Structure 1
């Protein structure tokens, strides 16, 4: 028969919160003096009940007394400081470190290593008392304080640059700082006692002058204070000097000529210079900052072509280096145009014979000049007959040739660069009348006819 077991503490209606019944066992975590007393186990069945009692005696103890060594040390700023926590008679315990009081957080730059507290670079904010603590079953043990004093070396603010030269309208900036005192506060003033105007800004140790003018020239002094050391008054840095010079004249590169047209194979030359500045650093590049073609030479500001080719045509940029801005200034682009030998338009086929009511086509083009404008006319310049179509791209098309279409046709090509027209050799169309009815010979198959009988096209073209 199953037995139900229940634990109780004599003299109390309930078990303390940290006392638990696990199965038939009574478990007490972290025994305290108040846990001492008698505990009763009651076993119950459906027909019977039985009890038994057990006594718990708790021996009183005292928390450990850790010791911090050394109890006092003094180091110079940025030196190393080490404290050690020793717990007599206790091993394997976990040590906690605190600043000024138990629970006080450790400042940045403090590292724990085993039972030691290490400060690699002591600062003024590290000065104070350090306490270690250990918690055991008998409570929290707190050590004596280990005191740390940090001796600061004498400091003085620095300002740089000591001398600054800027042009009128440029910005000027000085920086003030104190080595080892990152939290120092700064203020700037003129040495002559004149107030700073609205164009002067000071923040974070920087003195910034926007759009410097001649009246900003002079000597400036930075004064620094340590807000964490009220006993130390303001300390001045050595004065810095601002010199204002007149702004340099802007570099204006000039090019001559801005455009020239030469024949294929002839020389060409462009000149670039800066008025009043013979030592200016000048270089030539192609449009879009492309390198110069192989036949071009950059000769101390002159762009020279000994024998121009078709590939040399285009725009070229003269660049002048500005030492004030460390950038290049572009001149207006110089353009080189190259006259190329003109080719008369060609036609294909030069002659064709077609049957009446069949199509006829003639093609016209200019070798090496795909941009040429091409038109068709009757020989002598008269208009095209009815149903003859010029598509504007060099193709003359007659869908159903008639006798009125018979004759010579001329193609006129105009180069868009020169607007000079050239006329092709005539292309002839012959129209053969078709028989009203074709009667094949008895027993013979019909004979098909291809038109035109001959046609010639350039490689890669279609008809």
Structure 2
């Protein structure tokens, strides 16, 4: 047969890649059956690693490395049956990168050799491909090109200070930007030139907070050779010893001040108008004036916001915050109970401005006071804490027998740290108070007039914010002895006809029903009664009169109903 020639359908090609990013070199042949692939770098076979590995016939780079992945890559395809071999053209990466570095002193050779007026050269060791552009910074401020006191070389990556002085002191660093990204230097360079003719701060004035009418003293001192001169400014107006005269018409708002020979400034009887920014300025023979600032504030403390009482659930963790009132200086906050500070550890403790109950109990209920204080004074605000417990039974609802037509009571008595709310349910539907039902303060349910249909299941729920308990009671209604329905008091019977008169009753026990004549005489022979039905077999005129129905049972006695029976003759006309 004809030997199949290896023919590449995809070959690797030279391309741009970013250092640290992924890349792929492709290699595919027309007939891949029985073909094995191998990749070479600079003619040497490549071993698979996590960062660089063969995937199918392609070469995959998880993260391109500018050192490891430099050079020429080549794909070799080998037919395992015929031994034929084919190679692609070489391909390489143009790897783009940017890498941070330090700021290094290039001239003079050491920091110790830096003197006032000497030339100082700093070099930025950030590098990259393509070549980035650099920017120099001093104390966070960019240094623009073309300045008289320094020069910048992008080619050399250097910053040259022609004649360094204390005015050039600061922290120097560089940043660089390219298409790849933006980085800033590590290990930056601090320049600190001491020129004795420049003023140096010996004592720096501190910010002060004082109470009204108290005095304030700012200390400030400079050193230089020859000795420096010093002045004080208040809100940028010069302070002189003359200004201690309160009637000085030139500056009526100037505080009462004294400047001492050692440079200290005393302000007596500090008022609101004395507050603001004070500047202590030292002037040397050479260099910029050194300006030190200090602020004078009056101590103050505002009122605290009131608390509303808090209901907290028993046996749980709770936190109550006390916001510090506005004040100068910031007020310090603490909690007290019964004039004793809440400790910083324990079941009840203070954590920063919070009152913390890890688990609250009924004994923790009461009044707590949050205090806030600073130099201006102390403020406090009381907080009432109510601890809500789950209700406990005093008397649970229980199954009850209630008499029909009388008031009936179901008890649901419970207690808790907070008065429980009681809700009653009848067959699962909540009972609202109306003409039939009343719920008393202690939770007892009164049924004003018990009906037979009130015999059902009742539920009582007693609840507080901490939880609830519930109890059930089944009501059995004791029926009263009664006619159902009461017989009609006046009834007509048709003469000479068969007539029945009914009387029925119910009670706790099935009652016995009897009929008698109301006057006590016995019933005529043609009148019978059975199971409450009075039967007249043939009504005669003498059957008119009053009859009494008697219903009785042993537990409830008897009840009577009298019926007046009237015999009537109905006239019919025959046409």
TM range (shorter): 0.3 to 0.5
Q: Which structure has more RCO (C-alpha within 8 Å, separation ≥ 6)?
A: 1
- Give the TM-score of the pair, scaled to structure 1: 0.34
- Give the TM-score of the pair, scaled to structure 2: 0.28
